[in-house]
A and B are shown apart, each in its own frame.
Chain A
Amino acid sequence: MSVQKKYYINIYVLIILIVIGLTIGIGAYTFIYAEGGSYLTDKPSACANCHIMNDYYESWLKSSHHAVAVCNDCHTPDGFFPKYITKASNGFWHSWGFTTGIFPDPIQIKEQNKEVTRESCRKCHFDIVENIERESLETENVPCAGCHKDVGHR
């Protein structure tokens, strides 16, 4: 291996290391600045880090469920991996939406997240709803929140 060749490889490696280092550094700062750590918790105030959630947060404070359920109880599924995959996916799409500015206002829930909330009612209220969930009645798709609109937030 010639000296010249080694020299070029070293420059390439150096550039890559700088770029990777910068990415990690900027990423780490962004994570701290955006209070990224708070998103790993269950604190409802973390969801209102972005002011677009203020209305939902404030109406949850006044809702019937605020004493028994936080955002994550209804908006994330049970289990460590499903929960954090849901959080990561929402985190990505929320960042995407706010950075590009492409999202409906007032915000609208995505089908996948709606599915999560539908299932969440059953976490606590399964005993009540199991009797109305008969295949023959075709009630599978009737969402609880379709009628019980204000239980979580407005």
Chain B
Amino acid sequence: MDIKELPETKSSDGKSKMKNYRKYFLLTILFAVIAFGIIMLLVSIFEHKQEARNPFFRVVEISDTTEDPEIWGKNFPLQYDGYKRTTDQVRTRFGGSEAIPRTPTNADPRSIVAQSKLEIDPRLKIMWAGYAFSRDYREERGHAYMLEDQTFTERQIAAKQPGACMQCHASVYIPMKKLGSGDIFKGFEIMNSMPYEEARTHVSRAIACIDCHDPVTLQLRVTRPAFIEGIRNLKESQGIKNYDVNKMATRQEMRIYVCGQCHVEYYFKGTEKRLVFPWSKGLTVDSILAYYDAYSFKDWTHAETGAEVLKAQHPEFEMWNQGIHAKSGVSCPDCHMPYKREGAFKISDHHVRSPILNINKACQTCHKWSEEELKTRVENIQGKTFQLRELAMNALMDLITDIKEHRVQNSSSIQIAEAQNFQRKAQFLLDFVESENSMGFHAPQEAVRILGESINYSRLGQMSLQKNSRK
């Protein structure tokens, strides 16, 4: 409406009339803005109410033979979306992974790998001398890469790897059942003793929904035979007979055991390469070492010292068990797959990753301090563990150097046997912290205790060489 058209605006009291119109105009705008806001609120409430209404749409049928996670993802798009994000490569202070470009070859078509830990700390090559890990040992990447990185690691070239590796590097629930004609334990035994390349032809993808979830109830279930046997042995040592993990574990325990199927210490038993979790004496590093000693088991003979040594492998489950979070009943997914909100849904974040990259959801649900404060606390624990790890590594290097010298001087094997045994202990303890993926955080005091004992064994080994050479 054009006010200028009014003839009165040119009269003497025109200006005050204009002001009156302007007041009306501003009042209209004011109420229009309020109405605008109210409608925004109304629509938002409407949308949120709709969100709360549709909990789940089943668009495809899923059965015990559905392996492809993309099919599961049609029913569970939010979980599937997170699962696919495990391809992310993000560095943390003491872990995570960096995307390092490499030139693909015929033998290894990967164009991106994670950083090599051997290059970061060459002392690892000496610790593992004579073992495939001294050839290629990298920071682990997300779940999405488990099969690819296992297939193309140089360790495959350095030594023949058994099919037993597959239990934790591929979706094996359906392949194992097929191999065993429906009996997963039988399939497990068949796959264990296959050469890696042959086992590789039976699997097609990294861990998928079916490896952790029952397809009908979606409840967690343990599918890996080695864990079912391992936890049964552990429970038996605690006086519980015939423990059946899928029937007897609580919901919160299942949230731990499902991860414990792979994030554990293990070895391949006998010529049939049966995958075994060494828990029948307990879960601590000491009881695991006692278990190996009782069988006189060795992973390999150290190339530089001749010691019969052991390799520890990612014992996250065991280490976590000794820590304060385990005592408080906090399970793996509480921090690594924390609950998140998607609309009205509360779901576990299936983007499994370091809690340090997700502090608000992972830590602050329980710990009401600022993100910076919590991050500093974690890195403080890890930094101190790392300091002691450096001391333990140097001590081990000193022992290895000394044993080598004594061998060159033709000391008798009896004179160095004691020192070799100390190397076995020191090395396993150090490796137990080194290979564990939390730099001590999963159980801070236990980690530094282990490192302290490792340093002691290395120095005891050096002293025994001195003592015995004087004989």
B22 to chain A, nearest CB (A): 10
Question: At the interface with chain B, which of A20-28, A38-46, A64-72, A130-138?
Answer: A20-28
* Contact, CB under 8 Å: A30 / B31: no
In chain A, residues 8-23, which have Cβ atoms closer than 8 Å to a Cβ of chain B?
A: 8, 11-13, 15-16, 19-20, 22-23
The majority secondary structure among interface residues of chain A is: helix
User: Looking at the complex, which one of B24, B35, B41, B346 makes contact with A13 (CB distance below 8 Å)?
Assistant: B24
Interface presence of B27 (CB below 8 A):
yes
B21 nearest in chain A by CB position: A12
Q: Which residues from A are CB-within-8-Å of B41?
A: 30, 34, 95, 99
* Contact, CB under 8 Å: B6 / A8: yes
B358 to chain A, nearest CB (A): 11
User: Looking at the complex, which one of B31, B40, B368 makes contact with A20 (CB distance below 8 Å)?
Assistant: B31
B336 to chain A, nearest CB (A): 17
B369 nearest in chain A by CB position: A146
User: Looking at the complex, which one of A4, A16, A23 makes contact with B24 (CB distance below 8 Å)?
Assistant: A16
Cα A29 to Cα B42 in complex, Å, equals 9
Q: Which residues from A are CB-within-8-Å of B38?
A: 23, 26-27, 30
User: Looking at the complex, which one of A15, A20, A34, A51 makes contact with B344 (CB distance below 8 Å)?
Assistant: A51
The majority secondary structure among interface residues of chain B is: helix
User: Looking at the complex, which one of B34, B51, B360 makes contact with A104 (CB distance below 8 Å)?
Assistant: B360
Q: With A19-B32, A19-B35, A149-B368 given, is the CB distance from A8 to B1 under 8 Å?
A: yes
Cα A31 to Cα B31 in complex, Å, equals 17
Q: Which residues from A are CB-within-8-Å of B39?
A: 26, 30
Interface presence of B52 (CB below 8 A):
yes
In chain A, residues 50-99, which have Cβ atoms closer than 8 Å to a Cβ of chain B?
A: 50-52, 54-55, 95, 98-99
* Contact, CB under 8 Å: A99 / B44: yes
* Contact, CB under 8 Å: A50 / B31: no
Interface presence of B340 (CB below 8 A):
yes
Cα A108 to Cα B365 in complex, Å, equals 10
User: Looking at the complex, which one of A15, A26, A33, A54 makes contact with B35 (CB distance below 8 Å)?
Assistant: A26
* Contact, CB under 8 Å: B28 / A16: yes
Cα A56 to Cα B146 in complex, Å, equals 38
Q: Which residues from B are CB-within-8-Å of A5?
A: 6, 8
A111 to chain B, nearest CB (A): 13
Interface presence of B48 (CB below 8 A):
yes
Interface presence of A105 (CB below 8 A):
yes
Q: With A19-B28, A19-B32 given, is the CB distance from A30 to B45 under 8 Å?
A: yes
Interface presence of A37 (CB below 8 A):
no
In chain B, residues 1-28, which have Cβ atoms closer than 8 Å to a Cβ of chain A?
A: 1, 6-8, 21, 24-25, 27-28
Interface presence of B247 (CB below 8 A):
no
Q: Which residues from B are CB-within-8-Å of A50?
A: 48
Interface presence of A141 (CB below 8 A):
no
Residue among B39, B41, B365 with the highest chain A CB neighbour number at 10 A: B41
* Contact, CB under 8 Å: B1 / A26: no
Interface presence of B58 (CB below 8 A):
no
Cα A19 to Cα B34 in complex, Å, equals 10
Q: Which residues from A are CB-within-8-Å of B346?
A: 54-55
Cα A11 to Cα B41 in complex, Å, equals 30
Cα A94 to Cα B38 in complex, Å, equals 14
Mark B374-385 against chain A: 1 for CB-CB distance below 8 A, else 0. 000000000000
B25 nearest in chain A by CB position: A12
Interface presence of A139 (CB below 8 A):
no
User: Looking at the complex, which one of A106, A146, A149 makes contact with B361 (CB distance below 8 Å)?
Assistant: A106
* Contact, CB under 8 Å: A99 / B40: yes
Cα A154 to Cα B346 in complex, Å, equals 15
* Contact, CB under 8 Å: A51 / B360: no
* Contact, CB under 8 Å: B35 / A22: yes
Interface presence of B242 (CB below 8 A):
no
Q: Which residues from A are CB-within-8-Å of B361?
A: 105-106
Q: Which residues from A are CB-within-8-Å of B360?
A: 104-106
In chain B, residues 311-361, which have Cβ atoms closer than 8 Å to a Cβ of chain A?
A: 340-341, 344, 346, 360-361
Cα A154 to Cα B48 in complex, Å, equals 23
Q: Which residues from B are CB-within-8-Å of A15?
A: 24, 28
* Contact, CB under 8 Å: A106 / B365: yes
Cα A99 to Cα B39 in complex, Å, equals 10
Interface presence of A112 (CB below 8 A):
no
Interface presence of B412 (CB below 8 A):
no
B334 to chain A, nearest CB (A): 12
B39 to chain A, nearest CB (A): 6
Cα A49 to Cα B82 in complex, Å, equals 28
* Contact, CB under 8 Å: B45 / A34: yes
* Contact, CB under 8 Å: B48 / A19: no
User: Looking at the complex, which one of A13, A19, A27, A146 makes contact with B368 (CB distance below 8 Å)?
Assistant: A146
A95 to chain B, nearest CB (A): 5
Q: Which residues from A are CB-within-8-Å of B31?
A: 16, 19-20, 22-23
Cα A23 to Cα B6 in complex, Å, equals 30
Chain B positions near chain A (C-beta within 8 angstroms): 1, 6-8, 21, 24-25, 27-28, 31-32, 34-35, 38-42, 44-46, 48, 51-52, 340-341, 344, 346, 360-361, 364-366, 368
Given A16-B31, A22-B31, 10 extra CB contacts under 8 A: A2-B7, A2-B8, A16-B28, A23-B38, A30-B38, A30-B42, A34-B41, A34-B42, A106-B341, A106-B364
Q: List 12 A-B contacts (CB under 8 A).
A: A4-B6, A8-B6, A15-B24, A22-B31, A27-B35, A34-B42, A50-B48, A98-B45, A104-B360, A106-B341, A106-B361, A149-B366
List 9 tightest A-B contacts by C-beta distance, closest first.
Answer: A12-B24, A23-B35, A30-B42, A99-B44, A51-B344, A19-B31, A23-B31, A51-B52, A34-B45
